[in-house]
């Protein structure tokens, strides 16, 4: 049985134009679960990872606004909160779909810590978008008031950005392997995992950052010796000259071509760039591995080579 790590993008958890309520998210997750079940029905062993950008941003806002009546939780705790409730929704949604299809597979969420290097230079250059979108005027006002770093996000609006260090190791990897080896569908490294560092005593300590979920999913896929990394996003295929008159969608992409396009600046930081970087890293890690970047609704077809962009 071939093993896949599926990295769900934000559109798989929250639909554009719908309210950011728990009920609305669960409704979207149930729709997402049907596509994941289609892949499971093809005979693949699936491990699920997911983003948390909008959700963790809102949790941070809730904590800040409630600070006068309840102490605000630090950023790493907010990340853990997002892992827990998103994982819970995925467990509910995917279990419902599987039961309707006659499957007894169990879905389990692992609240996962991911080790980062406290000297990672990315701590000094915030780049990971979190929270809701704002107009440029709103973003500048928020930056002036709160001291946040605000940046334009791939033509979609302005968002707060935070440090996004590289994942070094998945602390709960052995537990995830145990679940996978025993037939469970594991939901792990949610939101890239809770970023932790080791203090002078060798103990794990949370740190204020958000690890990119695609790069954390790549680390997971390598460590689990997965056959493929499937990165799901809002578009069916990777493009060069994106949103320009000469936009070109790519069916396949070699590692060499991907590196050339990265160097030429074709992929937006915080958006498509980390997906390409994760895909390249995974394909280079071992001969025969492939990475697929596509939209949720095309995922099953992409595994058959009829949709999406495949790196191999």
Among 151, 237, 275, 298, the one annotated catalytic = 275
Among 151, 213, 237, 298, the one annotated catalytic = 213
d(CA 214, CA 230): 10
Does the annotation mark 128 as catalytic?
yes
d(CA 95, CA 191): 21
Phi then psi dihedrals of residue 273, to 5 deg: -55, -50
Among 52, 87, 128, 281, the one annotated catalytic = 128
Cα-based torsion angle of the residue sequence 100, 300, 31, 28 in order, rounded to the nearest 10 degrees:
150
Q: Tell me whether residue 26 is exposed, middle or buried, using C-beta atoms within 10 angstroms of its C-beta: 0 to 12, 13 to 18, 19 or more.
A: middle
d(CA 221, CA 215): 10
Q: ∠ at Cα 50 (176, 220), nearest 5°?
A: 40
Among 10, 53, 57, 93, the one annotated catalytic = 10
Q: How many Cα atoms sit within 13 Å of 8 on the Cβ side?
A: 30
Does the annotation mark 10 as catalytic?
yes
Active-site residue set: 10-11, 128, 213, 275
């Amino acid at each position: 049985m071939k093993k896949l790590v599926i990295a769900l993008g934000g559109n798989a958890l929250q639909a554009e134009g719908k309210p950011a309520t728990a009920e609305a998210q669960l409704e979207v997750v149930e729709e997402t679960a049907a596509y994941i079940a289609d892949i499971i029905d093809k005979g693949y062993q699936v491990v699920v990872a997911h983003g948390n950008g909008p959700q963790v941003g809102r949790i941070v806002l809730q904590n800040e606004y409630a600070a006068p009546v309840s102490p605000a939780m630090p950023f790493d705790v907010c990340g853990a909160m997002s892992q827990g409730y998103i994982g819970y929704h995925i467990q509910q949604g995917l279990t419902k779909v599987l039961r309707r299809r006659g499957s007894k597979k169990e879905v389990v969420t692992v609240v996962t810590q991911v080790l980062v290097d406290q000297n990672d230079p990315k701590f000094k250059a915030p780049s990971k978008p979190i929270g809701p979108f704002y107009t440029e005027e709103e973003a500048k006002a928020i930056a002036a008031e709160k001291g946040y770093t605000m940046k334009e996000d791939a033509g979609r609006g302005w968002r707060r950005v935070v440090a996004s260090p590289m994942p070094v190791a998945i602390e709960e990897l052995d537990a995830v392997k145990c679940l996978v080896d025993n037939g469970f569908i594991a939901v792990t490294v949610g939101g890239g995992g809770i970023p932790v560092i080791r203090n002078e005593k060798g103990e794990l300590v949370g740190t204020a950052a958000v690890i990119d979920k695609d790069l954390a999913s790549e680390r997971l896929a390598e460590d689990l010796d997965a056959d493929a990394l499937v990165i799901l996003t809002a578009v069916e295929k990777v493009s060069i000259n994106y949103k320009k008159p000469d936009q070109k969608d790519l069916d396949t992409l070699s590692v060499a071509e991907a590196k050339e396009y990265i160097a030429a600046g074709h992929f937006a930081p915080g958006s498509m760039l980390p997906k390409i970087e994760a895909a390249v890293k995974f394909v280079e890690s071992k001969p025969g591995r492939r990475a697929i970047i596509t939209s949720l609704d095309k995922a099953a077809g992409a595994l058959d080579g009829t949709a999406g962009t495949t790196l191999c």
